[in-house]
Structure 1
Amino acid sequence: MDSTLSLFLVFVSAGILHQVRGTGKVTALYGETIVVPCNRGAPPPQDLMFIKWKYERDDGSAGDLLVKQASNDKATVQATDDYATRVSIDDKFNLLISKASLLDQKTFTCMVVSVTNLMEYPVTVVVLKKPSSVDIMDKTDVLHKDKPTTVGTCVAADANPAATITWTKNGTLLVTDGKAIVITPSMKLDPATGLSTTSSTLQYAATKEDIGIRPVFACVSTHVLANKTTELGPFPIHYPSEQVNLQIMSKSPIVEGDNVTLKCKADGNPPPSSFFFHIKGQKMLVENSDNFTLSGISREATGEYKCSLADNEKVEASQSIVVNYLNLNLSLTGRVVKTVGDALSIKVEKSASGDHKIKWTKNGNIVNEPQFSKLTYSDAGVYLCEVSMTRLMQRQGFELVVEGKPVITSLTKHRAGDAQHKVLTCEAEGVPEPEFQWSVNSTDEQSTYINGKAIHKITVTPMLNLTVSCRVSNKLGEDVISINVSSVFKEENEKKDSQGDSEDQSKLIVGVVVGLIVAAAIVGLIYWLYMKNTRQGSWKTGEKETGTSEESKKLEENNHAV
């Protein structure tokens, strides 16, 4: 028999008091060293004999671990099972168990034997382990509207106690409802280690509201040692197309000759890639594209167009296309030659799909629509008719030439500035341009021709009185007119004679004026002498003058009259 045990039996038989204190509790970490204190770490009694550690087996029996006597620094390991290599004791008599596992979740008892007493201090050990990992398996890439889809399976592996798993969407806790939200939890216990693996699978059917927010899901693992949140998303939402929209991709308004593209857009996600286009009664399948182009569209293409889903023709859309057109046709084109005095009518034929404007120009200037009841030379010119509406314009024109035999409208003469020559000017109208012929020799000829009007000037020096003719002609006829031209020398003599007559008349006028002045002076002198004699006679008789003031006034008036 072991000596320690023998000594223990002796103490017991001697009636030493045996006491068992309340059970303590120690929490340890999986894989670490478990430290089990003896008597909560209180110092041993002074009369200590030895300390012994033991444990309670699964069947309830006691198992010895080790004994350490007060007189010996080394402890004696008594365990014969797995603990034989894992237990030890420190200088404070704490039991040390290396490589903690869940199998160490037992009650360990420290027995303290002294000379006078025997005390037992049981301690329960709990081993904790946080999840070794928190992962999401079977993750999806996309959600489906109104269709349950497995978002993923969240796994918290190898924990003690087992971790708790919950799910959130955009921060809000999800609760299973068996329809749109289905959460399936499970737990698996490893028989070898006793560790628990918790799993939770989330199935979610996206709603219409999720389309705009692109939901973010999170798996939340909760454990006494650690919490962890793992996010998934944001997820795109796939949903079938419920409606389509047909767009007309073209400048507005549409005109003949345009290339018009029809674009069919659906509201589904992902958008469909195949459509039927209904073009003037024909159904055309377009794959891997959402558009169809009408090249060089004509006015006959005006009408209703449709597009529909290739896999559901009931989902369709339509648009009406109006093709605008404009046509112009003039009854006159090119070069039009007419005779002066003729009538000329112009017919304008035009067709348009809507409101339009018409504008006429002559030689680039805006004019009213031309109507000619009697053509004149001034009517000649380049006429353009322009009809326009939005994005459309048609222009046609003609050149009007008005011809006629020449007619002289004026033949004039005037003396040149040097008084030695005379300038004759002949003006005529005619188309084509008339040629001028004069009946006299001339110098310094000048000519102009504008809008059917011709002007020809010549300079002559007539020595004698002449009759000069101006003749004009073109391919249509001729005209002639004459004018009398006097000699420049005769005119000079006549000018001198007229100057002598003028001098004689001037002398006569001067003589008359001088005679009048002399006569006025004589009358004034006689009046003065008369007045002087009249006043002297009054003074001599001594008569008092009466009415002097009135007479003076009359005299003054007579004097003024003279």
Structure 2
Amino acid sequence: MHCTAFLKCLLTVCLINQVSGLETVTGKYGDTVELPCNNGHVMKGLVKWKYDVDGNILVKHVGQNASFSNDVNYKNRVDIKQDFGLIIREVTMADQKTFTCMVAGDDDILEYPVQLVIYKLPSQPQITNQTTAMAVGKLTKLAQCRTESANPAANITWFKNKTPLLSDGTAIKISTTVDVDKATGLSSTKSDLEYTAMKGDIGANFYCQIQHIRSPNMDSSPLIFTVNYPTEEVTLQVVSLGPFKEGDNVTLKCTADGNPPPSSYIFYMKGEKKTVENSNTYTLTNVTRESTGEYKCSLVDSEDKAASLPITVEYLDVDLSTTGKIFKGLGERFEMTIDVKASGTPQTSWRKGNIKLDSLPKFDKLKYSDSGVYECVVSMAGLKKTRTFELIVQGSPVIKNLIKNRGGSVNKVLTCEAEGFPKPTVQWSVNGTDFAETAYVDGKVTYSITIVPKVNLTVSCTVSNTLGSVNKSINVSPLVEDLTIAKQDQKDDYNDQATLAVGIVFGLILAVLAIGLAYWLYMKKYRQGSWKTGEKENGSAEESKKLEENQSQKADV
């Protein structure tokens, strides 16, 4: 405001001087200025420069050297030009006055006054007394902005996010003062900002701007303040990743929207109350299904500001009706049952080895192929339980088949197919070579032996396991007898084939006779149907009789 009044006064003086013919020269503080004498139109006579009433500076006659006074204010600081203009070096605020050029002619003395106005640019804005934080709803002195050594005095304006702040005396108070240095005559301007913060001021940029008639506007560095406000809402969250199962650790985190945030919180856990200092987290260790429930946290100094959330601890219990190795007899009934207790809906799957089963194992009549390791997998919400058992179907041995085959020119190969569990072992009643056995699969195994019989033999195959034994015999003949029997079989086969051929030929003959008889009967019927009453057929009665006899003979054949 002081600066504005000064500028108005200066403008008024300039206007008055323009009206009265007073010339004005503006000079920069510390620079050299030139004051004209009648704009250089001095042809002859005496020229004298003075200020005020009796302040003599110098005298100069046309065509002669200037004579300088002993004025301490201008000695060694002034000079005169050829056109009688006055030069003043290193001007200060003390030089801001009216200087008069007096020209004495032959008949008259003329005066040409010149008003010298000095200006000085303000310094860069300086921020002092800055605070670091402001509270919502509380008027707080934020900072002081200052600029020095200016003429005329500079103006200071405060901004928030490029918007000028206007003092309203309540929420915003701006106090500006101007101090004039008595020694230099220069002015310093300072402005204090008091501000009532809102939540929306978080991250806002405050700055001051220096404004001067002779220089561009200058902005201070941006000021960012911490905005403090009380807690309005509390939030509780789970830091650990769920779902949670028994044995896990669960970390809870309590946060408040106030600034600065609280340093301590109260956690409420299943009826217990725990105050945590200098932290906002609490960890539940080794949780169990009993840990499922509602959890809460609050401020220490304001327990009504609280938040809560539910926590579920998942559990899964799986029990089979029988575990380990299960021994059952062949043909028995078997059914496995499972008991599942879980916090949710589990998924259950069964496998036997690498084969996926559609349902849990249930057999009305067990077979050896039902033996094996069964696996049950139950899963739910990140939990997985695996249970296994081994079913062993037992049975005393049985010989399913005992056969003989030729194994070469004189060899016989005997094969004994056995079934049972544990795996049956074999015992032959004869000695032989090339003992062999197949893989034992689903309770079945086949044993073979090669022998060379010299006489007719009865060979026994005996198979046994821990549950019993069984044997079966087969007759084995020497290879020569087999060949004889084979030839006889071949002869018999030839005779049988000849008999079959004769039968086929005889059958064909009978078929031809049957067709002929059928044809004769047909013709006879036809002829009888074509005779008319009173007519005679060609031929004698004897011929007809002979024809009938011939037909009868053919029929007998």
TM-score normalised by length of structure 1: 0.78
- Counterpart in 1 of 2:150? 159
How has the CA–CA distance of structure 1 residues 280 and 514 changed in structure 2, closer, same or farther, with 3 Å as cutoff? closer
Aligned partners of 1:370 and 1:132: how far apart in 2? 95
SS where residue 99 of structure 1 aligns? coil
Picking from 362, 365, 369, the partner of 1:378 is 369
Q: Which moved more, 1:334-343 or 1:177-186?
A: 334-343
Tell me, yes or no, if the aligned pair for 1:35 and 1:96 is still in contact at 8 Å: yes
- Counterpart in 2 of 1:66? 58
Aligned partners of 1:30 and 1:273: how far apart in 2? 58
Aligned partners of 1:514 and 1:133: how far apart in 2? 142
Residue 91 (1) aligns with residue 82 (2): yes
Per-residue CA shift, 1:112-136, capped at 9, x if unaligned?
1111221111222222222244312
Amino acid at match of 1:131: P
Q: Residue 322 of structure 1: CA displacement?
A: 0.6
How has the CA–CA distance of structure 1 residues 364 and 186 changed in structure 2, closer, same or farther, with 3 Å as cutoff? same
Q: Residue 231 of structure 1: CA displacement?
A: 2.9
Residue 304 (1) aligns with residue 302 (2): no
- Counterpart in 1 of 2:472? 481
Aligned partners of 1:62 and 1:247: how far apart in 2? 88
Tell me, yes or no, if the aligned pair for 1:147 and 1:206 is still in contact at 8 Å: yes
Tell me, yes or no, if the aligned pair for 2:401 and 2:416 is still in contact at 8 Å: yes
Q: Residue 163 of structure 1: CA displacement?
A: 0.9
- Counterpart in 2 of 1:226? 215
- Counterpart in 1 of 2:137? 146
- Counterpart in 1 of 2:461? 470
- Counterpart in 1 of 2:48? 52
Tell me, yes or no, if the aligned pair for 1:444 and 1:458 is still in contact at 8 Å: yes
- Counterpart in 2 of 1:538? none
Aligned partners of 1:390 and 1:183: how far apart in 2? 63
Q: Residue 271 of structure 1: CA displacement?
A: 3.8
Aligned partners of 2:271 and 2:441: how far apart in 1? 63
Q: Residue 502 of structure 1: CA displacement?
A: 5.2
* Within-5 A mapping of 1:203-352: 203-211=194-202, 214-227=203-216, 228-352=218-342
Picking from 382, 387, 390, the partner of 2:381 is 390
Tell me, yes or no, if the aligned pair for 1:166 and 1:221 is still in contact at 8 Å: yes
Amino acid at match of 1:107: T
Aligned partners of 1:95 and 1:353: how far apart in 2? 105
- Counterpart in 1 of 2:539? none
How has the CA–CA distance of structure 1 residues 507 and 275 changed in structure 2, closer, same or farther, with 3 Å as cutoff? closer
Aligned partners of 1:401 and 1:512: how far apart in 2? 62
- Counterpart in 1 of 2:394? 403
Q: Residue 84 of structure 1: CA displacement?
A: 4.5
SS where residue 473 of structure 2 aligns? strand
Tell me, yes or no, if the aligned pair for 1:22 and 1:121 is still in contact at 8 Å: no
Tell me, yes or no, if the aligned pair for 1:463 and 1:489 is still in contact at 8 Å: no
Q: Residue 185 of structure 1: CA displacement?
A: 1.0
How has the CA–CA distance of structure 1 residues 476 and 66 changed in structure 2, closer, same or farther, with 3 Å as cutoff? same
SS where residue 313 of structure 2 aligns? coil
Aligned partners of 2:225 and 2:395: how far apart in 1? 90
Residue 117 (1) aligns with residue 108 (2): yes
Per-residue CA shift, 1:105-158, capped at 9, x if unaligned?
222222111112211112222222222443122223444433333332111212
Aligned partners of 1:24 and 1:372: how far apart in 2? 127
Q: Which moved more, 1:278-287 or 1:217-226?
A: 278-287
How has the CA–CA distance of structure 1 residues 121 and 498 changed in structure 2, closer, same or farther, with 3 Å as cutoff? closer
Amino acid at match of 1:329: D
Amino acid at match of 1:69: H
Tell me, yes or no, if the aligned pair for 2:57 and 2:74 is still in contact at 8 Å: yes
Tell me, yes or no, if the aligned pair for 1:75 and 1:89 is still in contact at 8 Å: no
Residue 493 (1) aligns with residue 484 (2): yes
Amino acid at match of 1:28: G
Task: Report how many residues are paired.
Answer: 486
SS where residue 178 of structure 1 aligns? coil
- Counterpart in 2 of 1:518? none
Residue 437 (1) aligns with residue 427 (2): yes
- Counterpart in 2 of 1:103? 94
Aligned partners of 2:504 and 2:465: how far apart in 1? 65
Per-residue CA shift, 1:300-356, capped at 9, x if unaligned?
111111222344333222111011110111232222233334444534222111011
Amino acid at match of 2:180: L
Aligned partners of 1:115 and 1:54: how far apart in 2? 20
Tell me, yes or no, if the aligned pair for 2:199 and 2:227 is still in contact at 8 Å: no
Per-residue CA shift, 1:254-274, capped at 9, x if unaligned?
222222221223333444443
Amino acid at match of 2:56: D
- Counterpart in 1 of 2:173? 182
Q: Residue 482 of structure 1: CA displacement?
A: 2.5
Q: Residue 374 of structure 1: CA displacement?
A: 4.3
- Counterpart in 1 of 2:40? 42
Amino acid at match of 1:255: K
How has the CA–CA distance of structure 1 residues 505 and 434 changed in structure 2, closer, same or farther, with 3 Å as cutoff? closer
Aligned partners of 2:87 and 2:224: how far apart in 1? 50
Q: Which moved more, 1:220-229 or 1:498-507?
A: 498-507
SS where residue 82 of structure 1 aligns? coil
Amino acid at match of 1:175: L
Amino acid at match of 1:491: D
Amino acid at match of 1:42: G
Q: Which moved more, 1:179-188 or 1:481-490?
A: 481-490
Q: Which moved more, 1:182-191 or 1:81-90?
A: 81-90
Picking from 117, 126, 142, the partner of 1:126 is 117
TM-align CA RMSD: 3.0
Q: Residue 248 of structure 1: CA displacement?
A: 1.2
Aligned partners of 1:258 and 1:364: how far apart in 2? 33
Q: Residue 509 of structure 1: CA displacement?
A: 8.8
Per-residue CA shift, 1:42-93, capped at 9, x if unaligned?
32143x1x1222222xxxx43333322335313141x545344544433322
Amino acid at match of 2:270: K
Aligned partners of 1:332 and 1:505: how far apart in 2? 66
Amino acid at match of 2:386: R
Structure 2 residue runs of 5 or longer lacking an equivalent are 1-19, 507-557
* Within-5 A mapping of 1:193-208: 193-208=184-199
How has the CA–CA distance of structure 1 residues 116 and 395 changed in structure 2, closer, same or farther, with 3 Å as cutoff? same
TM-score normalised by length of structure 2: 0.79
Aligned partners of 1:71 and 1:268: how far apart in 2? 86
Q: Residue 237 of structure 1: CA displacement?
A: 3.4
Per-residue CA shift, 1:435-465, capped at 9, x if unaligned?
2222333332222332322322222333333
Tell me, yes or no, if the aligned pair for 2:407 and 2:413 is still in contact at 8 Å: no
How has the CA–CA distance of structure 1 residues 475 and 506 changed in structure 2, closer, same or farther, with 3 Å as cutoff? closer
Tell me, yes or no, if the aligned pair for 1:180 and 1:204 is still in contact at 8 Å: yes
Structure 1 residue runs of 5 or longer lacking an equivalent are 1-20, 516-562
Aligned partners of 2:334 and 2:434: how far apart in 1? 41
